[in-house]
Amino acid sequence: MGIRRLNHAVLYVRDAERSAAFYRDVLGFRTVASMPGGAFLQAPGSTNDHDLALFGIGEHAGPTEAGRRTVGLYHLAWEVGTLAELAEVGQALQAAGALVGASDHGTTKSLYAHDPDGLELEVCWVVPADLLDGAEMTTRPLDLAATIERYGAATAGGR
């Protein structure tokens, strides 16, 4: 038995329509199905029938306490193909007031954001294996302009 990859994630949110609009307008997902209180979205370039399902549980719902007082999911990481795409996503997240951080993890270059309910997400570019140059997993501030200068804006990421 061998798991190949994550097929989709399901999130409980306060308002499924509001959250779906964020993932559509900011990250380019498309709605593939919806119902009152729920939406199924597909990431750009995905061949999954959906990558993200959102179910609204109402405005009364409290904020997540995962990692602070309870166990739970910290974040989902969405991968882009090039550093140019990462920069574009960064601009969209910044414009939406959602960007909360940027990290160079050595093997990945990552942006962090909060969705409308404060759930954290990561958008990353994976350094191609042939360009790793002995890079190890780490966390330091991301200088995206310098990273683009080093690897090229159009270099395809991945392993």
The identity of residue 52, as a single letter, is L
Q: Residue 73 — left, alpha, or beta (φ > 0 → left; ψ -120 to 50 → alpha)?
A: beta
**Closest among 107, 119, 110 to 14, alpha carbons compared:** 119
- CATH number (domain holding residue 117): 3.10.180
Whole-number pLDDT of residue 158: 87
- Residues 60, 44: Cα–Cα separation, whole Å: 32
Same structural domain for residues 152 and 114? Answer: yes
Q: What is the pLDDT of residues 75-87, one digit of tens each?
A: 999 999 999 999 9
Task: Name the domain count of the chain.
Answer: 2
- Using pLDDT thresholds of 50, 70 and 90, give the confidence band for residue 43: very high
Q: What is the pLDDT of residues 2-31, one digit of tens each?
A: 888 889 999 999 999 999 999 999 999 999
pTM to 2 decimals?
A: 0.94
Same structural domain for residues 80 and 45? Answer: no
The residue segments making up the domain with residue 6 are 1-58
